[in-house]
Amino acid sequence: MIMMDVDNKFFNMGVLIVATLVVAKLISVLIMPKSKKRLPPVVKTWPLIGGLVRFMKGPIVMIREEYPKLGSVFTLNLANRKITFLIGPEVSAHFFKASESDLSQQEVYQFNVPTFGPGVVFDVDYSVRQEQFRFFTESLRVNKLKGYVDQMVSEAEDYFSKWGDSGEVDLKYELEHLIILTASRCLLGREVRDKLFADVSALFHDLDNGMLPISVIFPYLPIPAHKRRDRARKKLSEIFTNIIASRKDAGKSENDMLQCFIDSKYKDGRPTTESEVTGLLIAALFAGQHTSSITSTWTGAYLLKHKQHLSAVLEEQKNLMQKHGSKVDHDILSEMDTLYRSIKEALRLHPPLIMLLRSSHSDFSVTTRDGKEYDIPKGHIVATSPAFANRLPHIFKDPDSYDPDRFAIGREEDKAAGAFSYISFGGGRHGCLGEPFAYLQIKAIWSHLLRNFEFELISPFPEIDWNAMVVGVKGKVMVRYKRRVLSVN
């Protein structure tokens, strides 16, 4: 009897709680003001893992399908996160300009930490990271670049002097190789370039292979590729510690990024540690090596395909040779405007970094071209895509065609809709610090090739390798070459 009484009491209490909740919900729906948030439209997917499946099939495929339906701002539910895409300069300005406390990189780029190592870039607070980016900026100033250019030019001369009078090569492999050598010389320093090149490039290869799509989600998963990455990172640290010690002991100073990082000091006067120097050099190589070699390959492929643009860059080389003879230095490379536009256009069509990400920490609003306003709540991941935005037809005329003249004075399509119309190098607060270095390096290589060889593309025009972390060229790019000296008359 007592038991029955207790059961009844619980039952009645249960009914009361449920009834209260239902009434409360009804009141909130009927009386409370509706949320005023104008949330972006959401990509339709299957429940739970549908968003992940769409994303894994390729973010660009997904954006291509959704942009015409949903417009320039939309959200994808990705497992337990929401990614909001901001496509085009009209809606992406906040992405590029926001302060770190509003939109941060640290969480979304965390997966780099085991590769770059402890104490640098995404492993440190923004205030320290800002100082480390100042070290990058100082190491890439014009006075430093002038010295790097001489090294770039002599690396290119040396490399191509080993080619025969004629032959067939995989241009992609050759340019990749030359860029590793040049980056070693300018960034990692003479010791690595002259004595330790094979060892260090093998270790970088292991670091590279340790950055897989799965590493973005699980950077510490104990898989063989991650174990090799960790071993390589440790070994690189030992190598650079020795090099730094021997430079300091000998009181020697070199003109390379390594030296700049050794000499860098934080605001409080603290010098960089050996481990930080190693980490910053790895970050520089990761930022600049594949991106530049991919861009130099696309530039070559497009120039060889489009004879009128090839003639234009050859003409420019002839004019510069008439003016300066065979000399090539920083200032002469800076005069190569036609070549610059040819590279920039290859990079518009094929930005190697196809998606840029931030994590949002405060609500913000955007207005689309057609006047729709959306509120993006804090907690969303925010994304923009150079690969998609660089081909928007309201900014770039006939966007899929290779047309370097679109950047010439009078057209300047890269500025058509303001600062964020062309975003292969990002922009705003976190715009690429290595852009001038990259252009100089690619110009140094192509001016040498144009002046000394004739080429013919003998494999089909290359396709895009969407599966790579840094999106590049699929397969080989075979060319036939013949040595010649460009006639200036």
* Residue with token string 């003109």: 255
Q: E strands along 89-221, which residues?
A: 103-104, 166-170
| Cβ contact 414:79 at 8 Å | no
**Does residue 117 bind ligand HEM (CB under 6 A)?**
no
Q: Nearest to ligand HEM by Cβ — which residue?
A: 434
Interacting span for ligand HEM (CB under 6 A) from 165-173, 212-220, 421-429, 460-468: 421-429
What's the closest the beta carbon of residue 137 comes to ligand HEM, in angstroms?
A: 9
Specify the residue, 321 or 356, whose C-beta has the smaller distance to ligand HEM. Answer: 356
| Interface with ligand HEM, residue 353, by CB under 6 A | yes
For residue 426, state whether it binds ligand HEM (rule: CB under 6 A): yes
The binder of ligand HEM chosen from 352, 404, 462, 472 (CB under 6 A): 352
Strand-pair category, 356-360 with 166-170: unpaired
Q: Are 376 and 72 in contact (CB under 8 A)?
A: no
Residue from 228, 372, 430, 474 binding ligand HEM (CB under 6 A): 430
Contact range with ligand HEM by CB under 6 A, out of 235-243, 263-271, 311-319, 350-358: 350-358
State which of residues 212, 438, 449, 473 lies at the interface with ligand HEM (CB under 6 A). 438
Considering only residues 261 to 300 of the shown chain, the ones binding ligand HEM according to CB under 6 A are: 284, 287-288, 291-292, 295
Dist. CA 425–CA 140, nearest whole Å = 15
Q: Is 425 in the site for ligand HEM (CB under 6 A)?
A: yes
Given the rule CB under 6 A, which of 68-76, 155-163, 349-357, 460-468 is the region that contacts ligand HEM? 349-357
Near ligand HEM in 169-228, by CB under 6 A: none
Torsion, Cα 115 440 274 213, to 10 degrees, reads 0
349 contributes a contact to ligand HEM by CB under 6 A: no
Contacts of residues 121-126 at CB distance under 8 Å and 24 or more positions apart, as own/partner, are 121/279, 121/280, 121/283, 126/100
Report the first-to-last Cα separation within the chain, whole angstroms: 115
The number of residues making up the chain comes to 489
Distance, CA of 205 to CA of 359 (rounded, Å): 30
Q: Nearest CA to 120 among 5, 12, 232, 274?
A: 274
Strand order in the sheet with 478-483: 166-170, 478-483, 453-457
Q: Is 432 in the site for ligand HEM (CB under 6 A)?
A: yes
State the minimum distance, in angstroms, from the CB of residue 291 to ligand HEM: 3
The minimum distance between CB 184 and ligand HEM, in angstroms, equals 12
**Nearest residue (CB) to ligand HEM, 98 versus 353:** 353
151 binds ligand HEM (CB under 6 A): no
Backbone angles phi, psi at 221, to 5 degrees: -55, 130
Region of residue 428 (left: phi > 0; alpha: psi -120 to 50; beta: else): left
**How many angstroms separate the CA atoms of 435 and 441, rounded?**
10
β-strand partners of 482: 166, 454
How far, in Å, CA of 195 to CA of 245, rounded? 16
Cα 313 to Cα 338: distance, rounded to the nearest angstrom: 6
Residue whose pair of structure tokens reads 């980056």 in the numeric block: 183
Q: How far is the CB of 92 from ligand HEM (least distance, A)?
A: 11
Q: From the list 126, 133, 163, 197, which residue makes contact with ligand HEM (rule: CB under 6 A)?
A: 133
In the bound state with ligand HEM, the residue whose beta carbon lies nearer, of 89 and 230, is 89
**Burial degree of 131 (CB within 10 A; 0-12, 13-18, 19+):** middle
Number of Cβ within a 10 Å radius of residue 343: 24
Q: Which helix (H) or strand (E) holds 265?
A: none
What's the closest the beta carbon of residue 33 comes to ligand HEM, in angstroms?
38
432 annotated as ligand-binding: yes
Q: How many residues line the site for ligand HEM (CB under 6 A)?
A: 21
Among 74, 422, 437, 481, binds ligand HEM (CB under 6 A): 437
d(CA 381, CA 55): 14
C-beta closer to ligand HEM: residue 133 or 266: 133
| Residue of 111, 136, 261, 374 that binds ligand HEM (CB under 6 A) | 136
Q: Which stretch binds ligand HEM (CB under 6 A): 193-201, 305-313, 322-330, 422-430?
A: 422-430
Output the known binding site: 432
- Using CB under 6 A, list all residues that contact ligand HEM: 133, 136, 284, 287-288, 291-292, 295, 351-353, 356, 424-426, 430, 432-434, 437-438
Output the known binding site for heme: 432
